Structure formats: C-alpha cells, structure tokens
A and B are shown apart, each in its own frame.
Chain A
Amino acid sequence: MPARPVAHSVPEIEDQLGKLWERAAVARAEAAKAEAALVAAQAEAAARAASALATARDTSDGGGSHVAARTSVLNLVVVAGDEQAAQKCAAIIMATATRHASRSLILSAVDPSGPAGLEARIEALSMATAGGRAETGAETIYVTAHGETGAHFASIIVPLLVHDLPVALWWPADPPFGSRRADRLLPIADRLIVDGSAWSGDGLGILAQLAAAVEERRVVVADWALLRQARWREAIASVYDLPDLRPHLGAVRRISVDYAPEGQGDAVWETNVVRPLYHVAWLASRLGMTVAKPIRRESAGRRVATLRQKEHEVAVVLRPAGSDLGPGSTVRVEITSRFRGAELVGSITADDHTVEVSIRDDGRERVRRSYAAPRLTDVDLLALAVEEGAADPIAVHALATAHRLLGVESDAHKTPDRHRSQDYD
C-alpha cells in the first residue's frame, strides 16, 4: 500500500523537506541534551577533579556538541516510468544509502490523458555512523505525475535538486534518446545511468543512440551492462599477465561470444545482445583493433563482423548457445590468437560466483584458473555507477568501438520521432 502523499506541488515538497530536517535537528538536539545530562550525572558521581577538568576542556571546543550535518553527495534522479519500476528503484537506492548519502527523486507518470497534477511523498533515512556520533541523511522524494504534468519532468526536477551537487540521471528502462524528454533531461545530468542489458529487442539500436549521445553531446554514461562485465575483464586480463602469453594479445585472429538466446526461430533475433557485443568492443578497443566490416546478421541468431589488428583480420562471431542463463547473458568468450606458429585459445565462462578461464596452446591445456568473482548485484551496480566522478575512458572507448561495430545494423543516425505519443519532455 503506497504511503499517503504529503505534497501536491514543488513548493509543498520543498516545505516538507525543510520541516523534515528541522524536526530531525530538534530531535537530535533533545537527544544530545539527554545524553549530556546523563554524562554530567555520571561525571558528578564518579569523576575526581582532574578528570572533571579534562572533561570540561574536552567538550568546550565543539567536540562534544557536534551538530549533525546532512551531507548529500549527489542528486539521483530516476525516471522510473511506472509505480512498480519506481518501487524497485527505490529499494535499490535505499540499499545504497549507506554508501551514498543523496537526495533521490523518483519520478513516474500515470494516466497521461487524465487531469494534470502531481503527488509526492518523502522518505528520509537518518543513519548513525559507526562511531555513533554523527549522522548522515538520505532523502527520497517520490513524485507521481498525472496527465500533462508527466510531460514536464524537467520542470519538477530542477527546483528540487540540491544545489551545487552532481546530478546522476538513472533511466532504468529504454532511454528515449532523441525525444523531447531526453533533450530536456540530459543537459541536467552530469551522469547518465542505464542498463543496456535491460533494453527492449536486441538493444543494439538504443546502444547506437547511446554511443551517439556520448560522442555528440559528451554525455557521461555508466552502463550496468558494461559494469557487470568487470569480473570477466579482470579474469581475462589476469591470464594475459603471464609474460609469455602477452604477445598473443597482438595476434588475435578470432573473438567469439556465445550468448543465451531468448526463444527460438526468428524470435532469437530479439535477444538483447548488448553484453556479448560489449565483450568484443572492449577487447577491440584495448587491443588496437579497427572495424573492417560492421556487424551483420547471418542466420539463427548468429552475427558476424570483421576487425583489423595491425595487418591481419580478426573474425568476430556472436552466436546463441544453449544455456540456463537469462536471455542475453554471455555464456562463453573465446579468444583465438596465433603467434609464431602457435595457436592459443582462451576460453572464459562464468557462473554466479566464479569466472573460469582456460587457455589451450595448440590444443594442449596450458592454464586453467578459477576466479572467485561473484556476480554484482543491482545495489553494487548502482553504487559503482555513481562512484565514478568522471567518464571512464575505457568505457568511452568500448562504447565508441561498439558504435563502429554497429555501423550496418545501427539505427543511431535515424531521425528520432519527436511526435510519439509518449514523447514527454
């Protein structure tokens, strides 16, 4: 059962926020007084003159009467879509509150053809720190916009931002790049948080739009789909730390990524393949590869592309493979290289807790390693996404390479439909 709204306009929300922290300050002051009285009573009973003097000195310089401060470190704006998505996002945000004190605005829109208006409620989380002395706060403002109001999120967001703090814009569903809403909201944000693996269809069209936004508008992006793969990248990199394997990084001939499909037949093309593509894009960007032939469909969910590394070509294959994993999950990454006549095949797989790497050298197993690297949770991903202060150049390069890989299939450069019925601001 959703909580009762406490505000129906932005000024009312601001008023409620002010009252909330005033009440907190009063409560804290009262608690501090009670504590001081208790300490004083104990001191009177127990302390001798020397320690009483010390105590007096101790508290005379601000140490004992520290005023709790609400330390916000960012504004997090969530364009949640509907109430259910808003609740899910709120739960994740609440779990990260101990890591990132913030003001979160969770916006959802309902009944677009109904009467205009908004409802808002506020939750504040106050946490004693490990030392039990100070407090930190996180505020979550839930805004449900009705009717025409839902088309003007930017006008609600801007006055409610804590000034002078960075703004992270979290778009958990398909971000409507090119829409009026995106055009209004993206300039507000210092960072855009998305999850490419949750996008509709194969996700590649939106990925191309995202890449274009990064290149053209310098949007700083944290894509959970790419963040999730950090454990794969760690494992792959660690294996090639072995000095005798490193030359193979300059002699890659084939990169193949198996992914778990969604459905069969033509439906397999609807599998979101953002994650498999990111593996290729990351490897290509790190290993100095250029795109010779962009990615294209073959058959039965199989996509191919051709990269170029120095003077040789690198075949790229994304293909569906039987797996219990969720659709679009990477099942296996295989890197084949040939150096001085020796063929090396690195095969990487992962489950919930570990990443397995095996290296075969001319068919003979050279290395088999298991990395304890649990899959990141949504809470981890959100925390990581807001932790980075600036654009991660490795992610930028990977996304740019993905963009180039999508040259054929991408619809990034299509003119967006600005007149869709859902084209809110």
Chain B
Amino acid sequence: MSPARVPAAPPVARTARQLRESVTAARRRGRADTDTNPLRQGLRLERVPDPCAFVLFGATGDLAHRKVVPAIYQLWRTNLLPVEFSLVAVARRPYTSEAFAAELKASLEKYSRVLPIDEDSWAELAKRITYQQLDFADDAGFDSLGQKLDELDAKCGTAGNRLFYLAVQPSQVTEIVRQLGRVGLDKEVRGAGWRRLIVEKPFGRDLDSARLLNHEVHKVFRESQVYRIDHYLGKETVRNLMVFRFGNGIFEPVWNRSYVDHVQITVAESIGVEARGAFYEETGASRDILQNHLLQLMTLVAMEPPSSFQADALRDQKLQVLRAIAAPDADQVRKNVVRGQYGPGWVQGEPAAGYRQEPEVDPESETETFVAGRFEIDDWRWSGVPFYLRAGKRMPKRATEISIQFKDVPLRLFRESTGDPAPNVLAMRIQPDEGIMLRFAAKVPGLGLDVRTVNMDFAYDTSFVVDSPDAYETLILDSLLGDASLFTRADEVEAAWGVVTPIINAWAEMPPPHFPNYAAGSWGPEAADELLERDGRRWRRI
C-alpha cells in the first residue's frame, strides 16, 4: 500500500447518524457508495456527511437566525452532522464568538421547531461556532478567513471540506464569490476536500442579470459546486409530489391534456412584508415567488417522468417544461398576467396596513405584492391546458396548493339532481395541513337521486404524526452530502427568467398601475378573478 495514496484519517471522532432520526435519509439513493462499499447496501443511512466547515455569510441576518441556524442545530441535535464540524459565522458587525453564539441561542429559542433547546447538544454545537467579522469588500478579511479555515482543519478535523452559504443580499453574492476565488477557497484539490457554494434566491433580477450572475459564479465555481436554494423544493409535500406522481400507477394515465381541464397553483401568504420592506421593494411578487416557487411547482406537476432521481435526470425534465412555456409578449402580458398591491384591510380579524404604509417602503411604490398569470406549456402532454398561477401577500390565509381540475363528464346523467356535481379535483396542499384531496360526486342517501360533491381527504398528520423536517434541514443535509437533486441548476434559473422577464419588461413599458388594487385580507384584485372567469373558470376556494 502506497502511503502517498492514503488520505490521513482524521485523528478525532466522527459521528454516525442516529438510526431513528433518519427516515428521510433512507430515501436518498443513487449517490451512495454502495457500488464500492458492499457494507453500505441496505443501510438506512447510505451516506454520512463528510467532516466540514460550514461558512455562513450573512450570519447576523434574518435568514440565518430564522432558518439556517435552526436547521443546523436540528441536524446537529439529531446526530446528522459529523463531529468534525465547524460553523464559521461571517458578517460585518463586531462580535466575539461567544457573544455571537449566545445571540444564536436566543434566536433558537424563538425559531427552533423543537423546543426546549437541548442544552447538552447546544453546548457541543456552540463549541464549534467561530465568528469572523468581515467586510465583503475587504481583501485582508478574506485572506484571514482562509487562514482561519486552515486552522480549523487542523483543530477540528474538518479535512478541507467547506460549504459556503451565502445568506446575504443578492447584490453581495458576486463580490463574495469573487473574493472566495481570489483567495483560492473554491479550489478542490484532490485529497484536500470539496468546496461547495449555496446561493439563496433570487438568482438575479431578470434574465440578463441571472446570466451575468451565473457567469460570475462560474468564473470561480464549477456548476457542480453550486447549490441554488429554492426552499420550496425541500418541503416534504413538494417532494411527495414526485412520489405521488411516479410512485403510483393510477394517476399518470390521466395526467395529461386528455383528462385535465386546467391546473391552479396558489402560493398565498397572510403576512405582509414585515421587516423586509427594502428587500421586497427590489423584488416584488414576480421575482420573489413567481420566478422560483411557482414555476418550480409548475415544473414538478408538468414534467415527464425522469429516468432516475439523480440530480441531472430530474433537472433535465424540469428544464424541458420551462423551455416549453412560451414567453409572453406585451399583449399577452396585458391579457394573461395580473399584478396587484395590497392596501389597508383586515387580515384574520386584525387591521393590516397597506403595502405603501409598511416600513422601508416607498409611499408611491409600484412594487407588486400579488401576481397571477395564465400560462401554457407547449408540449404533447399539456398543449391547450392552462396553468393558472397566483401568489400574493396579505391574503386571507396562508396556503399553498396545487389543484388539478379534471374535465367534466361527457354526458350529465344526473342533471335532474338538486346538486350540480362539480368536476373532479385533485388538490395537493403544500402548506399548511399538508395533504391530498380528491373531490368527486356521490349520491346523497335517500330515495331520490340527488348527487353531491364530496371530498376524500388524506391529511399527512393523521397518517404520519411524526414531525417533518424543515425544508432547510433537508436542503442543508443534501448539500453536505453532495446531492443536488433539490437545487436549481443554472440553465433552469435562466429558463425561468425567460418566462418572467418579458412580464417585468412589459410592465415597465405600461402606464403606472392603479395601486393599491386589493384590500389586505382579500384574494387579490378583481382582475385576477376575471382572468379565470373569462375562460369560464374560477379560482378554487382554499
């Protein structure tokens, strides 16, 4: 055995993942080492994350505190992270590592999905937290970061594996990537560990900026190193959509233009912009939701069966859908896309300010907080089937749902019935109350022949009472394992912008909208209802 070919084994302990916490990991297939390590075959945990340093840029920000760190804590608490793990928190504000860890703990007590905090577990994780003050434009700071990571490799056994998580403003991504490249932190040297980059949405502001961003990122990182997070793809129900479609034989035969009348996808939020007014002013509903969440859900509904669940097989199919959506011209935008902005109103019994009255929002803002559109996919499966997509803030309730509305029966045999049986609907609730509902007609008990629509309802939490992992837990673990299936690829991002950019551009050319045009606590502007009424349809009541 040649010593030169033998990677030095880390001198300190490494953790295995706890069996009973690992049901989700059991579903990970394809990238396992089973081909070469026969002992891994059939284990619930087919892979274990490598030792690594998790470098969190924007560590003092809202996303880091609400989502990323709670997810890391949860993974740590359930032994899903290696012992040789280090969390390097990077931000501009001055902190000591201890003070920052204390602040993270306070956030965990607010945002962790499992409370109370396990003190022993947190103490172990806190020991692995290092804070690095850094101005993203500061060369010396990045030099120092590189040195610190080398020190951590020696001290914590992180083996040169580094995950860079950019929980920062979109405008800062390019600069950080450039700096990482400048100090060589992107370089994967054989035997010296992997380097991965997680980028949060939005990936650009339009097609050109997305291309530019991809170009800048690719100057430093290869595409295989880049993990673009759309956290919707990490949600259990979204992942279950694939199982539902491709793990059951009875739905796929009717999943096409011959049987489906239309598809509705709704992403409704009851909250406003909260403390993110400045961010939202730069994005709006089209960039914040339509370009990513809504179009991603649409691709999962519409894609052809992939040949496997390998990352690229899956993403190739999604890409085909995006490329089959015709980019709308200005007339089509005017006809098929509706934008809105909420004014003052009442949401869930509480008064709610209008968008223009929110903090950090321009009192004359033209940013849309609601978008709805009618899209078509020009392929053999879906030609002629409209997909109605809508997303909005300050809706009456928080709800994300996909509903497949089937065609009516060819002959109404029960027209004398007092009830008018509605067409079948298959609805997949993404949040809250995750589940699947099938609506069909049934005879009302009695001597007559009355027909009424009934729901057959499957609720996740009645069959699986176990907690689902948060999407960020799933996605962070996947990125540590090098599984990119649930992350969006550069070409996917650009194809999605290819659909949304013409809409944004057309709006820019139109006269200023009459905002606000819907009251907080309503389902959006009337024009959104008219969008469907024109086709003889209406939005599902959610």
Contacts and interface: CB of A to CB of B under 8 A. Distances in A.
A81 to B, nearest CB: 27
Given A234-B48, A359-B9, 20 more contacts: A58-B542, A66-B457, A98-B466, A130-B467, A131-B432, A134-B459, A136-B462, A136-B465, A240-B37, A242-B7, A286-B39, A288-B38, A369-B9, A369-B10, A372-B16, A372-B18, A384-B20, A387-B23, A393-B42, A395-B42
A316 to B, nearest CB: 17
A236 B8 CA distance: 18
A63 B542 contact: yes
Interface residues of A, number: 73
Nearest to B47: A241
Given A244-B5, A286-B41, A234 B17 contact: yes
Contacts of B7: 242-244
Interface in A385-414: 387, 392-395
Given A134-B433, A235-B16, A340-B1, A366 B9 contact: yes
A54 to B, nearest CB: 4
Contact of A131 (B43, B461, B521): B461
Nearest to A138: B465
22 contacts: A42-B349, A48-B346, A50-B521, A50-B522, A51-B345, A54-B523, A57-B396, A66-B457, A71-B459, A71-B462, A71-B463, A127-B465, A230-B19, A237-B43, A240-B39, A241-B37, A242-B9, A287-B38, A369-B10, A372-B83, A394-B42, A395-B42
A376 B41 contact: no
Q: Size class of B's contact patch?
A: 35 or more
Interface in B425-480: 432-433, 455, 457, 459, 461-467
Interface in B30-88: 33, 36-45, 48, 79, 83
Given A51-B349, A130-B461, A61 B521 contact: no
Given A134-B433, A249-B39, A366-B9, A69 B20 contact: no
Interface in A310-351: 339-340, 342
Query: Which 7 pairs from chain A and chain B are nearest by CB?
Result: A394-B42, A51-B346, A371-B16, A129-B461, A54-B396, A370-B13, A237-B39
Given A51-B347, A241-B37, A244-B6, A234 B459 contact: no
A300 B491 CA distance: 68
B541 interface: yes
Contact of B396 (A55, A249, A339, A370): A55
Given A129-B462, A129-B465, A384-B19, A372 B42 contact: no
A393 B43 CA distance: 11
B283 interface: no
The dominant DSSP class at the A interface is mixed
A51 B348 contact: yes
B28 interface: no
Interface of B: 1, 5-7, 9-11, 13-20, 23, 33, 36-45, 48, 79, 83, 345-350, 396-397, 432-433, 455, 457, 459, 461-467, 519, 521-523, 540-542
Contacts of A236: 39
A202 to B, nearest CB: 26
A369 B82 CA distance: 11
Contacts of B5: 244
A61 B542 contact: yes
Contacts of B45: 234
Contacts of B521: 50-51, 54
A376 B19 CA distance: 8
A246 interface: yes
A355 B83 CA distance: 13
Interface string A224-238: 000000110111111
Which of A42, A240, A288 counts the most chain B CB atoms within 10 A?
A: A240
A384 B1 CA distance: 41
B396 A58 contact: yes
A73 B455 CA distance: 20
Contacts of A368: 11
Which of A51, A133, A339 counts the most chain B CB atoms within 10 A?
A: A51
Contacts of B396: 51, 54-55, 57-58
A383 B38 contact: no
Contacts of B20: 376, 380, 383-384
B43 A234 contact: yes
B37 A101 contact: no
A127 B462 CA distance: 9
Contact of B345 (A42, A50, A230, A369): A50
Contacts of A376: 19-20
Nearest to B44: A230
Interface string A45-89: 011101101110110111100100101010000000000000000
A367 interface: yes
B14 A369 contact: yes
Contacts of B13: 369-371
A145 to B, nearest CB: 31
Interface in A259-293: 283, 286-288
B433 A133 contact: yes
Contacts of B44: 230
A57 B541 contact: yes
B462 A234 contact: no
B320 to A, nearest CB: 32
A416 interface: no
A46 B352 CA distance: 13
Which of B41, B462, B466, B467 counts the most chain A CB atoms within 10 A?
A: B462
A373 to B, nearest CB: 5
A366 B467 CA distance: 40
A43 interface: yes
A69 B40 CA distance: 40
Contacts of A46: 346, 349-350
A383 B23 CA distance: 11
A246 B348 CA distance: 60
A374 interface: yes
Contacts of A190: none
Which of A53, A355, A395 counts the most chain B CB atoms within 10 A?
A: A53
A380 B464 CA distance: 15
Contact of B466 (A48, A54, A99): A99
A339 B6 CA distance: 15
Contacts of B1: 244, 339-340, 342
Contacts of A43: 349
A47 B349 CA distance: 5
A36 to B, nearest CB: 14
Contacts of B522: 50, 53-54
